[in-house]
Amino acid sequence: MKKLKILITTALLFHLGLIQAQNFNYGLLAGYVCANAHVIKNNEYATRLFYPMHSFNVNGFIEYRFPGAWGIAAEPGFIRKGGIVDGDNHFLGRFDLQLNYLQLPIIANLYFTDRFYIIFGPEFAYLINKGGNLPVLPETYTPFEKEAYKMFTPFEDDTFEISGMIGVNYNIISKIDIGLRYSHGLTKFSVTSWINHRYPVGHGTMGYSNVYNQYLQFIVRYKIKPG
């Protein structure tokens, strides 16, 4: 009798485990990213302007849907942020700033129907390296030009970043979702200085602005049903 109770209890627990497992999804997602940088409190004497850059992301995901309208998901992966930088014509010119991150969005899903839902939550990111045609200090610069170059290019990027994300997803067939998302940094990734070029070098810095990553993203998710 005791063995029978143990078997029945084990079977019930196993059955409940299967039911809960059916609420999990996992898989892959990839997307097109339109990345740009947002300068807070820009100034007419700012040393650089940012323009949108085409980019991409590749992530995995695992999600759980609770009974009712809510779910939660984690999406570890890779994303390239940054933008096209138009700096001072003499010292910088125009170049791509490609910031490569390992990212981990932790998002909540709010389901309006079984197919349509919105997502929102924090995104954590870690800068692993920078790429693109970044400016290099020419060896032919005079001491005066080298001092000005360093003043105009303080790319001391913060390694760790927290952003906020919001978007919409739609399930077009059983295993494929498409989505549109927007993300904006809550912590800065760099700063830009305000320089009055009429002042002598080293005396023209008027202030600084924080620079934040932002991007618009179109994604495709492929879901794998466990079991």
Report which of residues 95 and 57 the model is more confident about.
57
Average pLDDT over residues 69-77: 95
Query: Are the C-beta atoms of residues 192 and 39 closer than 8 Å to each other?
Result: yes
Note whether residue 74 is domain-resident: yes
Average pLDDT over residues 198-217: 73
Rounded Cα gap, residues 60 and 56, in angstroms: 14
What is the pTM (predicted TM-score) of this model?
0.77
Query: Are the C-beta atoms of residues 105 and 77 closer than 8 Å to each other?
Result: no
Note whether residue 104 is domain-resident: yes
Average pLDDT over residues 65-71: 91
List the domain range (segments joined by +) for residue 198: 25-224
- For the segment 166-181, what is each residue's pLDDT rounded down to a tens digit? 999 999 998 999 999 9
- For the segment 119-163, what is each residue's pLDDT rounded down to a tens digit? 999 999 999 987 765 555 556 556 655 555 555 454 556 789 999
Note whether residue 48 is domain-resident: yes
Note whether residue 7 is domain-resident: no
The percentage of the chain sitting over the pLDDT mark of 90, rounded to a whole number, equals: 45
Note whether residue 6 is domain-resident: no
pLDDT of residue 227: 44
Note whether residue 13 is domain-resident: no
Note whether residue 122 is domain-resident: yes
Note whether residue 170 is domain-resident: yes
Handedness of CA 48, 52, 57, 61 (dihedral sign): positive
Rounded Cα gap, residues 163 and 185, in angstroms: 4
Please say if the pLDDT value at position 12 is more than 70. Answer: no
Number of domains in the chain: 1
Please say if the pLDDT value at position 78 is more than 70. Answer: yes
- Domain of 112, CATH number, reads 2.40.160.20
